[in-house]
């Protein structure tokens, strides 16, 4: 378990981050002249595709986070693999990103290409659609600056070292968040995104079944999870809402659940158990307005992580493929080339 002093020390020590690198200048009205219907097209598309229990919102929000925490907010997570490269979306940690979510981005891109071809980046589509789905299910609005370019690289082997895991401690998570320029409080605020969405049984089952079940989990909640996951080894789609109380609403219930021993993942529960993050959990559980304000600011900051400009990015014609066939995504991935013949025979 993380102790109080090491975590605070970690927050205060400066580590160069991807956020501190020079980025292109983003503006709110970037597409005002070149694609005036940009915002309208994005919002109309996500509105018509919103699934039950905030499913669409959770999927797009997770997609945006997973994108920004690797190569920066450059839509690298959308790139599909080819014979020479295994891309980010192929790593096991990204298997939770549903095809439905990728399809929504594809629909938005197609509509924008019809209205203003070759203008809007996939990275900006992700940023704007994330904002829209969050507000659609009751979350806070925040400023979305635009003008990102799409990245040239997407490597599966980079995923695991850059994303939080379900069993991470506060120290583990903070080491990742700090590299992107976030404070401890901002990390807890962004974790509030778990007020929507689901997690598969394999990510939390050890907390309720096994040789060392977690004694901190609320007893009735543990029984419900056992029932939900009774055949998870046969049906891998089994899972539970991250917030079992208000799963289709963006609110502060996630933090209230943590106080009651109803955090689904070990990495959720530890935010309340660890002395360094508990005050922020209690703050957000008691005041949704403060949570919304802090979440909004953290999302604005997240959207600036590793932004690409004209020199190191492009506007893709298709979000799942580079315009330039000789882009770095097509360079052989050493962890993948030995399996080329197997992959091609699937």
- Judge whether 66 counts as a catalytic residue: yes
SS3 237: coil
pLDDT given at position 195:
96
Strands 239-241 and 198-200: antiparallel
Question: How far apart, in whole angstroms, are the C-alpha atoms of residue 148 and residue 315?
Answer: 9
pLDDT given at position 71:
87
Question: How far apart, in whole angstroms, are the C-alpha atoms of residue 123 and residue 332?
Answer: 24
pLDDT given at position 91:
80
Question: How far apart, in whole angstroms, are the C-alpha atoms of residue 159 and residue 333?
Answer: 14
98 annotated as belonging to a binding site for a ligand? no
pLDDT given at position 84:
72
Q: What pTM was computed for the model?
A: 0.86
Any residues with CB less than 8 A from the CB of 41 and at least 6 apart, and which? 108, 111, 112, 115
- The 10s digit of each residue's pLDDT in 27-49 is 999 999 999 999 999 999 998 87
Higher pLDDT, 234 or 188: 188
pLDDT given at position 52:
59
312 annotated as belonging to a binding site for a ligand? no
67 annotated as belonging to a binding site for a ligand? yes
The token pair that represents 300 in the structure block: 């604005």
The token pair that represents 140 in the structure block: 């806070």
CATH class of the region 37-197+242-303: mainly alpha
52 annotated as belonging to a binding site for a ligand? no
- The 10s digit of each residue's pLDDT in 285-329 is 999 999 999 999 999 999 999 999 999 999 999 999 888 654 444
- The 10s digit of each residue's pLDDT in 188-220 is 999 999 999 999 999 999 999 877 889 999 999
pLDDT-based confidence at residue 7 (cuts at 50, 70, 90): very low
SS3 183: coil
pLDDT given at position 211:
79
Instruction: List the chain domain ranges.
Output: 37-197+242-303
- The 10s digit of each residue's pLDDT in 76-118 is 999 988 767 788 988 887 888 888 899 999 999 999 999 999 9
Higher pLDDT, 254 or 53: 254
Q: Which of 66, 131, 168, 269 is the catalytic position? A: 66
Question: How far apart, in whole angstroms, are the C-alpha atoms of residue 23 and residue 283?
Answer: 33
CB neighbours of residue 218 within 10 Å:
14
Closest CA to 244 of 295, 188, 199, 302: 199
pLDDT-based confidence at residue 168 (cuts at 50, 70, 90): very high
Question: How far apart, in whole angstroms, are the C-alpha atoms of residue 166 and residue 255?
Answer: 17
């Amino acid at each position: 378990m993380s102790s109080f002093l090491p975590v605070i020390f970690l927050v205060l020590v400066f580590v160069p981050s991807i956020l501190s690198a020079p980025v292109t200048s983003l503006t709110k009205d970037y597409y005002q002249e070149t694609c005036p219907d940009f915002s309208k097209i994005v919002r109309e598309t996500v509105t018509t595709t919103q699934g039950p229990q905030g499913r669409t919102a959770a999927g797009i929000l997770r997609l945006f986070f997973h994108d920004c925490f690797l190569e920066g907010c450059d839509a690298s997570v959308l790139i599909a693999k080819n014979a020479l490269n295994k891309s980010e979306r192929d790593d096991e940690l990204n298997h939770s990103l549903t095809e439905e979510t990728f399809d929504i981005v594809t629909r938005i891109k197609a509509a924008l290409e019809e209205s203003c071809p070759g203008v809007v980046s996939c990275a900006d589509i992700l940023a704007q659609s994330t904002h829209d789905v969050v507000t659609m299910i009751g979350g806070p609005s925040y400023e979305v600056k635009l003008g990102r370019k799409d990245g040239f690289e997407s490597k599966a082997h980079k995923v695991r070292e850059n994303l939080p895991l379900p069993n991470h401690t506060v120290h583990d998570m903070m080491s990742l968040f700090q590299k992107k320029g976030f404070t401890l409080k901002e990390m807890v605020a962004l974790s509030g995104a778990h007020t929507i969405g689901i997690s598969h049984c394999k990510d939390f089952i050890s907390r309720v079944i096994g040789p060392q079940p977690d004694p901190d989990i609320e007893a009735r909640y543990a029984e419900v999870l056992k029932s939900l996951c009774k055949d998870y080894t046969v049906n891998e789609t089994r899972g539970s809402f991250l917030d079992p109380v208000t799963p289709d609403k963006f609110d502060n219930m996630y933090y209230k659940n943590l106080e009651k021993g109803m955090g689904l993942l070990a990495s959720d529960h530890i935010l309340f158990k660890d002395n360094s993050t508990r005050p922020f959990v209690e703050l957000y559980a008691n005041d949704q307005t403060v949570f919304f304000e802090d979440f909004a600011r953290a999302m604005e900051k997240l959207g600036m992580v590793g932004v690409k400009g004209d020199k190191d990015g492009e506007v893709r014609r298709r979000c799942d493929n580079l315009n330039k066939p000789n882009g770095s995504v097509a360079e052989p991935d050493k962890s993948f080339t030995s399996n080329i013949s197997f992959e091609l025979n699937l």
